[in-house]
Amino acid sequence: MLPALLALTALLALPGRASATVLTYVPSAGTGANDLGDLDHHYYYAWTLGLISVPANEVITSAYLTFTNMYNWDANKNVLFLDMFDTPAAGGNVLMGPNTGANAAGDTYTSTVRYASDPDVPAGSSSVTNMADAFDSANSLTSGSRTDLTAHSFMADSGNPLNATDVNAFKTMLSTPDAAYNPNSLPQSYGNNATVGTTGWVVTENGTGMYDYRYYFTTGAGSQLEALKAYIGPSTDPNRDVTLAFDPDCHFFNDGVSFTIVTGPGVAGGAAAVPEPASLMLLGTGLLLAANRYRQRQARYRSK
């Protein structure tokens, strides 16, 4: 019995665990297409989400962007730049919204997508030769506190991001100098994909020859996830918004973009939920008394 009591003590001392809450948001807020105009390289985009509500007594534990059936329109060099802003988009043109909708978790939110012409693509041009993040400097859509998320390159529809031969050939193409581009080469790391992971780009096959890409925010002190929490703000913030920025330096066909926040049990300040010291003390005292009575009964039994 004593070992069982000790095991129970250890079990009850563990932090409380509950099912995670998954909050997924789409640009249309459920009332239209979610492909962000197929991320046309003639433009750059800013998607503002508002009224994001983290469930009571929970904190954000992870976040990711998902691109469904994503591929580049040709086999040339390309980059998709992703950023995050604390300020709602206000300039440029409206692609969709403002819309209001609710996700599967019951969170009612607002969504607006704006776009502006990309200076990297000359008027009338059908290809991108100057690859730079439009949000690295003054732009027409948003400003204020900003966090760089990632830069990534994608294969054409004929490529297989899960095939090592295709991936190596793609990385070689990205890094081979080409005077037609500025910069004339791109890092091979822009082609890195994983099949599992908690940060970075993860790719999964979605039907024959179709692939979904997911970008997981970095975590830890000073991370993208911590910036996201700060941008959304506390439950008392009347806006609770964040702006996700996209600069496609090439044309990325896709069947939908979504943003997901995962939350879990927590306390003020964002720490994981743990038992209160007073509760643990009461628990420990009760179990010690029970153990002592158990020893006394065993002693009386042996003395008979």
Q: What is the DSSP string of 243-263?
A: EEEEEEES-EE-S-EEEEEEE
> Is there a contact between 110 and 102 (Cβ–Cβ < 8 Å)?
no
pLDDT in tens, 37-71: 999 999 999 999 999 999 999 999 999 999 999 99
Say how many Å lie between the first and final Cα of the chain, rounded. 20
Q: Identify the bridge partners of residue 109 per DSSP, sorted by sequence position.
A: 101
What letter does residue 42 receive in the DSSP assignment? T
Tokens of 184: 């004339």
pLDDT value of position 13: 45
pLDDT value of position 127: 77
pLDDT < 50: residue spans in the chain: 2-17, 268-291, 294, 299-302, 304
pLDDT in tens, 218-272: 999 999 999 999 999 999 999 999 999 999 999 999 999 999 999 999 854 444 4
Picking from 114, 37, 60, 6, the residue whose alpha carbon sits closest to that of residue 266 is: 60
Q: Return the residue matching tokens 């890092």.
A: 187
Rg (CA), the chain: 25
